Amino acid sequence: MVAWFRIVSSLLGVFLVTVLLLPFQLLFLATGHRWRNRLPRLWHRAALWAIGIRVDVKGSLGDRRPLLVVSNHSSWLDILVMASVADVTYVAKAEVKNWPVFGVLARLQRSVFVERDQKRRSQDQANDMADRLNAGEVVVLFPEGTTSDGNRLLVTKSTLFAAATSAAQTSPTGRVDVQPAAIAYTRIHGMPMGHYHRPVAAWPGDIELLPHLIGVLRIGAIDAEVNFGPPVEVTTATNRKALAFEAESEIRRLMEECLRDRAVRDL
């Protein structure tokens, strides 16, 4: 009974904040107001509070623009967590646009939808992301291309980094900053999550979304950490594969730092 009360109250809280903020976001999108990128942060913070997710931040978002943030990806929760600490837009696979609820939220946040299986369009899609970056928007990319179990980083796809070099070509400064970041889930009800329990928050692709969503709402108390590394300057001369390798190594280090530091603090 307590678990179902937590689920219902969480959904009610998210529903109420959505009803409150949705008209303003629609207005901001229609008018191109600068708050179209800022209001989603308020929604994500309120939604996480309703669900019971607490977020700690290490490091800080880079202050130079254009800025592309590259992060590991283990759960649909990553979207809420990262967007609660920065005014960002996401690169998402095209099918997300048609997902119930999440597709609507992605469109409201002006996500960049890409068709990753169509290599002939990869450069056009990279140019679309470059336009967003050079317009001053902070774009978040999950270069693994799928979700993991939350305990490890999968191999990153170097083709997705083409947006950075494309943006550098048209950037007024001739460069773009790429900032590695890591998102880690560390505790449940104040207790260390550990490797075995971390998939409670993680959402690998072979698990149905609705049961996982209900499971997170039933738990109601998860700690997440966002760890920002130092930005890497990218120019037109930067090798895309070398950039992907450097970013992958740094994301893995940041992720391990979150999990290791949390384990040490729990001793």
Q: Give one DSSP letter per residue of 17-54, joined into a string.
A: HHHHHHHHHHHHHHHT-THHHHHHHHHHHHHHHHHTEE
Place of tokens 């696979």: 93
Closest alpha carbon to 112 in 96, 98, 97, 92: 92
Say how far apart CA 190 and CA 266 lie, in whole Å.
10
Q: What is residue 202's predicted lDDT score, i.e. its pLDDT?
A: 87
Cβ–Cβ under 8 Å, residues 83 and 226:
no
Say whether 155 sits in a helix, a strand or coil: coil
Tell me how many domains the chain contains: 1
User: In the chain, which residues have pLDDT < 70?
Assistant: 1-2, 116-124, 205-206, 261-267
Q: What is residue 1's predicted lDDT score, i.e. its pLDDT?
A: 66
Q: What is residue 104's predicted lDDT score, i.e. its pLDDT?
A: 81
Q: What is residue 100's predicted lDDT score, i.e. its pLDDT?
A: 73
Q: Tokens representing 41?
A: 């942060």
Say how far apart CA 256 and CA 245 lie, in whole Å.
17
Q: What is residue 12's predicted lDDT score, i.e. its pLDDT?
A: 94
CB within 8 Å of 265: residues ≥ 6 apart: none
The residue segments making up the domain with residue 26 are 2-265
CB within 8 Å of 246: residues ≥ 6 apart: 232
Task: Compute the radius of gyration of the chain from its Cα atoms.
Answer: 18
User: What single DSSP character describes residue 156?
Assistant: P
The pTM score is 0.90
Phi-psi sector, 238: left (phi>0), alpha (psi -120 to 50), beta: beta
Q: What is residue 231's predicted lDDT score, i.e. its pLDDT?
A: 96
Q: What is residue 265's predicted lDDT score, i.e. its pLDDT?
A: 54
Any idea what the CATH number is for the domain that residue 70 is in?
A: 3.40.1130
Q: Residue 201, class by beta-carbon neighbours within 10 Å (0-12 exposed, 13-18 middle, 19+ buried)?
A: buried
User: What single DSSP character describes residue 105?
Assistant: H
Q: What is residue 119's predicted lDDT score, i.e. its pLDDT?
A: 57
Q: What is residue 267's predicted lDDT score, i.e. its pLDDT?
A: 47
Cβ–Cβ under 8 Å, residues 69 and 85:
no
Q: What is residue 122's predicted lDDT score, i.e. its pLDDT?
A: 61
Three-point CA angle 54, 60, 62, nearest 5°: 140
